[in-house]
Amino acid sequence: MTALQIVPSILSADLGRLGNQVREAQSAGARAIHIDVMDGHFVPPITFGPAILHAVRAATDLPLEVHLMVSNPEAQVDAFIAAGAQTVIVHIETTSHMHRLAQSIRAQGARAAVTLNPGTPLTALEGVIADVDQVQVMGVNPGWGGQPFIPATLDRVRALRDWLDRQGLHAALEVDGGVNESTIASVAQAGATMVIAGSALYNDRESVMDAMARLRRALAPDEAQ
Ligand code: DX5
Ligand code: ZN
């Protein structure tokens, strides 16, 4: 089984101390930071724009991945890459031109990633899976942190693991939403290579360092990275 990378999402961080919260994640061993961009249209909440990426970029040299939960992502991608995104995650539901958009993301030197809602069939990925660097499976309906993991996600991760392996594809397989100490081991066993952790890492019960250690303990020793 591949070792699992745990990527912090700042959605549940204390934004009044954003720089510190990012540095705490880095000290706890994070190797990337996940930034959830919501536009109040594709999903109800509104969150972060490129200015927040600049602020995170100033706090850390870790790679930043931007999860675009926005309508018309074509209009937004370039600004986020210019603001420092190394990976851009696009919802397949938001564009008729996912393949072209992935090419454009790569042409600008960033990694192209595609994600899909829990209700979207995996077959939607057919035409693009060979031409992206990362496939993300939502473990919750996008829009909010702290929601319970949808159990059917595990079958979807297993199916995608199988699909990627059978075709000899090396895209990262990431699960976003509902990952915590109760669910992380089964997500790893299903074949994910990366998980996003928001409320499991940023909460008022413990430090980011302790929370990261707790998540790693929930994995077998050879699975944590
Ligand atoms: C949800 C976001 C997630 C969110 C995960 O729409 O895409 O990245 O931060 O939060 P948790 O880990 O609390 O489910
Ligand atoms: Zn996300």
Q: What is the pLDDT of residues 6-62, one digit of tens each?
A: 999 999 999 999 999 999 999 999 999 999 999 999 999 999 999 999 999 999 999
Kindly give the number of the ligand 1 atom that is closest to the alpha carbon of 143.
6
Burial readout 37-50 (b: 16 or more C-beta within 10 A, e: otherwise): bbbeebbeeebbeb
Residue 215 neighbours by CB under 8 Å, 6+ apart: 6, 180, 181, 184, 197, 200, 201, 224
User: How confident is the model at residue 175, as a pLDDT?
Assistant: 98
| Distance from C-alpha of 50 to C-alpha of 66, rounded to nearest angstrom | 10
The one-letter code for the residue type at 136 is Q
Per residue in 117-141, pLDDT (tens digit) is 999 999 999 999 999 999 999 999 9
| Correct CATH for 5-217 of 1.10.150.120, 3.30.750.200, 3.20.20.70, 3.40.50.2000 | 3.20.20.70
Taking 80 as the threshold, does the pLDDT of residue 79 lie above it? yes
Q: Is 176 a catalytic residue?
A: yes
Q: Per-residue confidence at 225, pLDDT binned at 50, 70, 90?
A: low
Q: Look up 210 and say whether it is catalytic.
A: no
Please give the single-letter amino acid code of residue 72.
N
Ligand nearest to the CA of 195: 1
- CB of 89 sitting under 6 A from ligand 1: no
Strand partners, 67: 36, 89
Non-local (6+) Cβ contacts of 204 within 8 A are: none
Q: Atom 3 in ligand 1: which residue has the minimum CA distance? A: 177
CA of 115 to the centre of ligand 2 (A): 9
Q: 2 pLDDT exceeds 90? A: no
Query: Taking the model in full, what pTM does it have?
Result: 0.97
Q: What is the mean pLDDT of residues 190-211?
A: 98
Q: Which of 14, 131, 176, 222 is catalytic?
A: 176
**Which among 10, 42, 144, 174 is the best mutation to test ligand 1's pocket, defined by most ligand atoms within 8 Å of the CB?**
144
The kind and range of the H/E element at 137 are strand 134-138
User: What pLDDT, on a 0 to 100 scale, did the predictor assign at position 222?
Assistant: 62
* Residue 139 alpha carbon to ligand 2 centre in Å: 10
Q: Which residues contact 206 (CB under 8 A, 6 or more apart)?
A: 214
Tell how far the Cα of 150 is from the centroid of ligand 2, in angstroms.
15
How many helices, marked H, and strands, marked E, lie in the chain? 7, 8
Q: How confident is the model at residue 99 (pLDDT cuts 50, 70, 90)?
A: very high
- CA distances for 7 relative to 31, 40, 188, 196, 202, angstroms: 7, 24, 13, 5, 12
Residue 178, pLDDT above cutoff 90: yes
